[in-house]
Structure formats: C-alpha cells, structure tokens
C-alpha cells in the first residue's frame, strides 16, 4: 500500500514516514503544496496524510482540487487547528478523517490502515481469503492459524492482493501501489517476490491470469 505524506515540517514528516514504513507501507514525502497537488493528481495512492498549513497551496485547497478532479483515495487531515468549524471545512472539502496535533504515531498508523481497509470495501479489521488471514491492525498474516514470516516487500504485495482478493490486479497496478522508488516493477523482481510468496502460502493461491495480471483466490 502506498501513502503520500504531505507535511512541510521536515522533522514531523520524517517521523510519520518512518512509522508508516515500519508498518509496511510504501511512503512518498512532499512538502510543497503545488507538488503535493500534482502528485495526488497523477500518482496511485491508497491514502494520504495531508497537513493544512502547506506553502504555496494550502492543504484545504489541495484536497478540494483532488476531489473536484475525481481523485477519491482516502485522506487523513493533519493539523494544529482544533476548532470545530476548521474540522467541518476539512470534511466538507472531502476529508475522510481528522487528527489534531500533537498525536500518537501509532494512532495515525491505525487510522490509515482503517481508511484503506474501508476504501477497499472491508468493514472488519480481519481479512480472509480461505485459510489465509490478514489482521490489518496488527499487520500480521496467518495461514491455517500459524503466523507467516514475510519480508517488507512480500507483505506489501500480499496485503494489496488481500485487500482486492478475487480481482485481477495488473502488474502495473501492483507497481504503482507497493513499490519503493528504487525497485523497478518492469524488472523480474515482482516475479521473484511472487515466487517467494507462493512458496510460503501455496502456489495455487496467487494465480497468474495470462495477459492481465494476478489474482488472489478468495476461496479454497
């Protein structure tokens, strides 16, 4: 899952990005309002953490422009403004959640996980595809009741497929949502990672749909 951190406080942005990366997300950090708006218009994000007090274009305007152009990924507003009318303005602009500074990084991570889960159509924090389970809040996979040991990249790929179980996910879509900047989705790296995942969960669970992509089967 790929998250945009839009915050002009470098120290805070670094802490947020580190917490999200440790939780298994691919993270992009930007601090300029114009660059943030452009990234949200052109990149495939699963969620964004958006500060309101951004330079050049404020966060509220950025959010309004995203929503007006049809960008519907969930957005968590992050701000020092705690007055009700400020929160109302954020929600009216299209925000999905609101967190007031100061805050606990753990709470931010949990809220981002919940936003992505609900945006994928899952009401409960436990996702299931046959004997494979993902506890979203704990970021832990279980197979037949036993915990799975996955690398960070394996976890990102399998988590994305799990959120979209039963649907064919193209190679390009996986590349947009789970890769760090340093990993080329057009290389054989994805095939190597999928091979490792299949060895851990069973080769038949992640199927290759020729010419289309990959599908995590939702049933046994």
- Enumerate the domain spans of the chain: 2-119, 126-216
Task: Report the predicted TM-score, pTM, of the whole model to 2 decimal places.
Answer: 0.83
CATH architecture of 2-119: 3-Layer(aba) Sandwich (3.40)
3-state secondary structure of 45: coil
Residue 97 φ/ψ, nearest 5 degrees: -160, 170
Cβ neighbour number for residue 127 with a 10 Å cutoff:
19
**What pLDDT, on a 0 to 100 scale, did the predictor assign at position 220?**
42
pLDDT at position 181 is 56
Please list the pLDDT of the chain residue by residue as tens digits (220 residues). Answer: 899 999 999 999 999 999 999 998 999 999 999 999 999 999 999 999 999 989 999 999 999 999 999 999 999 998 877 677 777 888 888 999 999 888 999 999 999 999 999 998 888 889 999 899 999 988 899 999 999 999 988 999 999 999 999 899 998 888 888 876 555 556 688 888 899 999 999 888 999 998 899 999 865 4
What is the assigned CATH class of domain 126-216?
Answer: mainly alpha
Strand partners, 2: 26
Distance separating the N- and C-terminal Cα atoms of the chain: 25
The pLDDT assigned to 43 comes to 92
Report how far apart, in Å, the C-alpha atoms of 123 and of each of 101, 194, 206 are. 27, 27, 23
* Strand-pair category, 126-129 with 97-100: unpaired
């Amino acid at each position: 899952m790929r998250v945009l951190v839009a915050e002009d406080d470098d120290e805070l942005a670094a802490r947020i990005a580190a917490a999200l990366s440790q939780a298994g997300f691919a993270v992009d950090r930007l601090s300029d309002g114009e660059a943030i708006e452009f990234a949200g218009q052109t990149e495939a994000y699963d969620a964004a953490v958006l500060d309101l007090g951004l330079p050049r274009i404020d966060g509220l305007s950025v959010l309004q422009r995203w929503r007006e152009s049809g960008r519907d990924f969930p957005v968590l507003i992050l701000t020092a403004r705690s007055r009700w009318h400020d929160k109302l303005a954020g929600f009216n602009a299209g925000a999905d959640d609101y967190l007031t500074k100061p805050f606990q990084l753990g709470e931010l991570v949990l809220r981002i996980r919940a936003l992505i889960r609900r945006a994928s159509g899952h009401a409960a924090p436990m996702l299931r595809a046959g004997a494979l389970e993902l506890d979203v809040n704990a970021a832990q996979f279980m197979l037949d009741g036993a915990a799975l040991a996955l690398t960070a990249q394996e976890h990102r790929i399998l988590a994305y497929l799990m959120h979209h179980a039963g649907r064919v996910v193209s190679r390009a879509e996986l590349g947009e949502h789970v890769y760090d900047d340093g990993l080329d989705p057009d290389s054989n790296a994805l095939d190597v990672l999928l091979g490792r995942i299949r060895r851990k969960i069973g080769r038949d669970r992640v199927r290759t749909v020729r010419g289309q992509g990959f599908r995590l089967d939702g049933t046994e």
